[in-house]
Structure 1
């Protein structure tokens, strides 16, 4: 899959070779994104893209704008190195200003950027501004608009308003595709390309007992539920914790691990204490590599009330971890109608508890889901297939 092209420096300038030996004949794609802390699901797609795009005739790099002093960017830099992606990290905590646009325009000129590929509301706006100074095509991927609060809602609205002016808008789920059409993106410029996963990197190598031993967890501690994601309101972790309390009241003493960081940590900690679940629910903090935890868990639960097509579900499926998930966004496309996991309506504590209870008490069903889900991901959600579709979009906008 192409040659290694990258690493990043602590100063934000890219390190290592900036282009491959054949890059003079390849159009250059600049992936752009604002990020706080260690990022999220979209970054798995962004950072894995460059090495695959090489085989489809494109050079690319990933430019991240992050708050000054945010330590999470160092984690993303390490992930970029592991993914063989060139990453440029610029501190930026300000609203869009002329100096930033000027700097980005010069960068695009220096690197002869053919396609600006935005991945969030701010880079949607920046792309339109930069194109006034450097001729390039504009592509954006809508990964989800899961923002809450007045200012964040305003930012998301501005980002959506930019969509009709882009040469291509890629949605990762059916509902996001329909959303882009509602924002007057023409049918010929709207695409639906689902998220995908590297099934070679994400495959089970440990039994649950072995994985729990590595995590220093007693192999006989009972049913372990795992949830992963930013600790934010749209992830529904408060609903999941309530469901665990309900399960305990039914005599089903499950253990819940929640991996991730975010602004709702204090609220969740107070909820856990109030419900008397301190010994049963653990906030694990940021998880750099979720593979061991996914292999240790008996059930993975997605409790979100808003998502696009969650990368973390693909990871759980690829690692043969049975799933209970809310019926939102692209989840039905992933899980089918009960073939590859259990779905419940979002926001329903009792339905979530029922689904977890039933699956926890049916090991044969868990095994069947695990095997079927892995095969489904290999057949339908391999990352190389996704990038072939993405390259075809680039081909069309450059025609």
Structure 2
């Protein structure tokens, strides 16, 4: 198959890491896979493009100068007409609005759109109407978790059943070192409100009254850093909280910790939870979005209500006082990550969606939702045949 992915990239986060694994994996299976990268000149975008090119995936850089950019749209349309892909697969809002329209004008046989995350603007009625309107151009809708599909139904009025759910995949690293018995926490992610860092700092301050040696490493950068530093100072956490800035890869930070915390207020998937599990670390995560689908609560980690610093503090204390249980959760987490979330499994599902859509693409306009459900069922069946029923 000739497959053109379209994505808006500013840096390397969850969706970008997904593409860094998926596109080379599809290419390794013999498909002609390319990426049209919408960007605004960010260094992180160039880093992402370079990494894909080193994996032998061709990248077309399309500079955007506005959220809706007619010049970028024209260039993207010419690129798609020139390459004549069988499948065009868009990721994130800018790519949906530019890539799905351009893909339809370019007469691509199949259009696929993946939704990746929770966003504050999705609550706007005007945006929801525009998003649903553009989405009708796609043959197949993919959500990275059932939790995200439900959120999109609630916030924008999508039919949750119309989404094929395809979780992100992960590749196995070398066996991780055993977790420390010391009460060490790690959180990895952008310093933005939805990631819940402020809630975590409040929880750590509460927990330290029972676990005085508790420490937290914060890996990530973002606009909230000055405010979070001030919060840590106000809570008396200067000596127990470290701000590391952007860290890539995050593995060493996770390996230094006994427990990884994902305190997000909204999370389409929660890749850092899966990365922590792959590194054999217990995870405490918010019961929101895709996180409950990653964790097997009670076996690989623990879930707490989002935004509840008192509940989060109680669970932190619980694990800090029980290193043996913490290590057992981490061991079970690595087993689950490699068995249930392998990149091969993710690639199988996406590849099957493409094949099914190409076979039935002529019925797109009359049965979009039914077509997506049919594609999802076919993809799951293919994955079971490859990996065994779980």
TM-score (norm 1): 0.82
State the SS of the aligned residue for 2:73.
helix
Please tell me the root mean square deviation across aligned C-alpha atoms, in Å.
2.4
State the SS of the aligned residue for 1:329.
coil
State the SS of the aligned residue for 2:65.
coil
Q: Which runs of 5+ in 1 are unaligned?
A: 1-26, 210-219
* Alignment match, 2:27: 54
Q: C-alpha separation between the residues in 2 aligned to 1:186 and 1:72?
A: 32
8 Å Cα contact 1:33/1:63 also seen in 2:
yes
* Alignment match, 1:11: none
Counterpart selection for 2:43 from 71, 75, 81: 71
Within-5 A mapping of 1:1-399: 27-36=1-10, 38-68=11-41, 70-81=42-53, 83-136=55-108, 137-147=110-120, 158-180=130-152, 183-185=157-159, 187=161, 190-199=163-172, 202-207=173-178, 222-399=182-359
8 Å Cα contact 1:295/1:321 also seen in 2:
yes
8 Å Cα contact 1:31/1:46 also seen in 2:
no
Q: C-alpha separation between the residues in 1 aligned to 2:20 and 2:346?
A: 14
Indicate the larger mover: 374-383 or 296-305.
Answer: 374-383
8 Å Cα contact 2:153/2:160 also seen in 1:
yes
* Alignment match, 2:381: none
Offset from partner CA, 1:208-231 (integer Å, 9 cap, x none) = 57xxxxxxxxxx9x4221101111
8 Å Cα contact 1:48/1:83 also seen in 2:
no
The number of aligned residues is 356
State the SS of the aligned residue for 2:105.
coil
8 Å Cα contact 2:179/2:256 also seen in 1:
yes
Distance apart, 1:149 and its partner CA:
9.6
Q: C-alpha separation between the residues in 1 aligned to 2:258 and 2:189?
A: 18
8 Å Cα contact 1:121/1:155 also seen in 2:
no
Q: C-alpha separation between the residues in 2 aligned to 1:186 and 1:348?
A: 27
Distance apart, 1:252 and its partner CA:
2.8
Offset from partner CA, 1:10-56 (integer Å, 9 cap, x none) = xxxxxxxxxxxxxxxxx2222222122x2311111112112211354
Distance 1:274 1:155, change over 3 A: farther
Q: C-alpha separation between the residues in 2 aligned to 1:378 and 1:360?
A: 26
Offset from partner CA, 1:43-89 (integer Å, 9 cap, x none) = 11112112211354522122222223x22223323432565543333
Q: C-alpha separation between the residues in 2 aligned to 1:288 and 1:79?
A: 13
* Alignment match, 2:380: none
Q: C-alpha separation between the residues in 2 aligned to 1:225 and 1:365?
A: 15
8 Å Cα contact 2:116/2:144 also seen in 1:
yes
Distance 1:281 1:84, change over 3 A: farther
Distance apart, 1:156 and its partner CA:
6.8
Distance 1:146 1:294, change over 3 A: same
Q: C-alpha separation between the residues in 2 aligned to 1:154 and 1:321?
A: 42
Distance 1:81 1:349, change over 3 A: same
8 Å Cα contact 2:90/2:100 also seen in 1:
no
Offset from partner CA, 1:167-204 (integer Å, 9 cap, x none) = 100111112223455634585x53111121112xx343
Q: C-alpha separation between the residues in 1 aligned to 2:227 and 2:307?
A: 17
